Amino acid sequence: MTTMLDDTTVVSKRKVTVNGTKVEYELTKGDFAAEWTERWREDEYTYPLNKPSVEKRKAEREKIKQWLTEQLALARAGKKTAIHLMYFTTTRWGGLDVP
């Protein structure tokens, strides 16, 4: 999964209005992988897919990678995680590959 979060392949474009100015920006496979992790979390986290700032979205993906690493370390230690149990066996992403 961490590899997918780093994927910069452009797959879509969005248009939003920022301070009265129309802005078009590209979305990557990494953005959509990050958005998908929202469903895994037990908290109310929301990935900022509608924000045109590439840097902010990239920084957010780094936070997600850290969160995944922490959660899987907890799971490996036999402790409770904040990941919905059903996603530990997901095959949609080929399983979780966080080191």
DSSP string, 36-61: HHGGGBSS-----TT---HHHHHHHH
Residue 51 reports pLDDT greater than 80? yes
Q: Do 58 and 67 contact (CB within 8 A), yes or no?
A: no
| Phi then psi dihedrals of residue 14, to 5 deg | -130, 155
Residue 83 reports pLDDT greater than 80? yes
Note the pLDDT tens digit of each residue in 5-49: 999 999 999 999 989 999 999 999 999 999 988 888 888 899 999
Of 95, 96, 72, 82, residue with least CA distance to 40: 82
pLDDT of residue 11: 95
Note the pLDDT tens digit of each residue in 52-79: 899 999 999 999 999 999 988 998 898 9
The single-letter code of the amino acid at 33 is A
pTM for the whole structure = 0.78
Taking the alpha carbons at both ends of the chain, their separation in whole angstroms is 10
Q: Which two tokens stand for residue 30?
A: 């990494």
pLDDT of residue 67: 93
For helices 29-37 and 54-76, the axis angle rounded to 10 degrees is 50
pLDDT of residue 91: 44
